[in-house]
Structure 1
Amino acid sequence: MKIAIYGQAYQKVAVKSVDKLLTSLSAMGADIFIEEDYLHKLKMSSIDNRYGCFSKLDKSFDLLFSIGGDGTILRAITYVKDLGIPIMGINTGRLGFLATLQTEDIEVATKEIFAKRFSLEERSLLSISTTNGKKDFGQLNFALNEIAISRKNTTSMITVETYLNDEYLTNYWADGLIIATPTGSTGYSLSCGGPVITPNTNSFVLTPIAPHNLNARPLVIPDSTKIMLKASGREDHHLVSLDSRIFTIRNNTTLIIERAPFNIKMTQLHDQSFFKTLRKKLLWGADRRN
Structure 2
Amino acid sequence: MVVAIYGKAVETEYLPSLGELFNQLVEHNVEVWVYRPFMEYLLETFSAKLPDFEVFNTGSDINGKANILISIGGDGTFLDSVSFVRSSGLPIMGINFGRLGFLANIAIPDMHNAIDLLIAGRFKVEHRSMLEVVSTLEQFNTFPFGLNDFTMQKASSGFLKVNAYVNGEYLCAYWADGLIVSTPTGSTAYSLSVGGPIVSPNLSALILSAIAPHNLTVRPLVISDDNILLLEAVGRDGSVMLSLDSRSITCKSPVTVTVKKAPFFANVVSMEGSNFYHTLRGKLLWGMDKRN
User: TM range, normalised to the smaller chain?
Assistant: over 0.9
TM-score, length basis structure 1:
0.95
Distance 1:47 1:158, change over 3 A: farther
Whether the aligned pair in 1 keeps the contact of 2:117 and 2:272 (CA below 8 Å) is: no
The SS at the match of 1:217 is coil
User: Residue 236 of structure 1 corresponds to which residue in structure 2?
Assistant: 238
Q: How far apart, CA to CA, are the structure 1 residues paired with 2:235 and 2:114?
A: 50
Q: How far apart, CA to CA, are the structure 1 residues paired with 2:40 and 2:54?
A: 12
Identity, % of aligned positions: 40
Q: How far apart, CA to CA, are the structure 1 residues paired with 2:267 and 2:20?
A: 24
Whether the aligned pair in 2 keeps the contact of 1:67 and 1:92 (CA below 8 Å) is: yes
Whether the aligned pair in 2 keeps the contact of 1:224 and 1:258 (CA below 8 Å) is: yes
User: Residue 250 of structure 1: CA displacement?
Assistant: 2.5
User: Residue 288 of structure 1: CA displacement?
Assistant: 3.9
Structure 2 portions without partners, runs of 5+: none
The SS at the match of 1:272 is coil
Q: How far apart, CA to CA, are the structure 1 residues paired with 2:186 and 2:247?
A: 15
Whether the aligned pair in 2 keeps the contact of 1:240 and 1:246 (CA below 8 Å) is: yes
Distance 1:218 1:179, change over 3 A: same
Whether the aligned pair in 1 keeps the contact of 2:150 and 2:244 (CA below 8 Å) is: yes
Work out whether 1:86 is the aligned partner of 2:82. Answer: no
RMSD, aligned CA: 1.5
Opposite residue 28 of structure 1, the aligned amino acid is H
User: Residue 162 of structure 2 corresponds to which residue in structure 1?
Assistant: 160
User: Residue 2 of structure 1 corresponds to which residue in structure 2?
Assistant: 2
User: Residue 12 of structure 2 corresponds to which residue in structure 1?
Assistant: 12
Whether the aligned pair in 2 keeps the contact of 1:10 and 1:42 (CA below 8 Å) is: no
Q: How far apart, CA to CA, are the structure 2 residues paired with 1:2 and 1:105?
A: 21
The SS at the match of 2:141 is coil
What is the 5 A alignment of 1:90-105?
Answer: 90-105=95-110
Work out whether 1:139 is the aligned partner of 2:142. Answer: yes
What is the 5 A alignment of 1:128-277?
Answer: 128-130=133-135, 132=136, 135-152=138-155, 154-277=156-279
Q: How far apart, CA to CA, are the structure 1 residues paired with 2:278 and 2:246?
A: 26
Q: How far apart, CA to CA, are the structure 2 residues paired with 1:5 and 1:199?
A: 25
Q: 1:126 aligns with which of 125, 131, 134?
A: 131
Q: How far apart, CA to CA, are the structure 1 residues paired with 2:257 and 2:186?
A: 20
Aligned positions, number: 287
TM-score, length basis structure 2:
0.94
Q: Deviations over 1:40-98 (max 9, x none)?
A: 11112135261111111223211011111111101111111111111111112221111
Q: How far apart, CA to CA, are the structure 2 residues paired with 1:150 and 1:53?
A: 38
Whether the aligned pair in 1 keeps the contact of 2:10 and 2:97 (CA below 8 Å) is: no
Whether the aligned pair in 2 keeps the contact of 1:2 and 1:63 (CA below 8 Å) is: yes
Opposite residue 219 of structure 2, the aligned amino acid is R
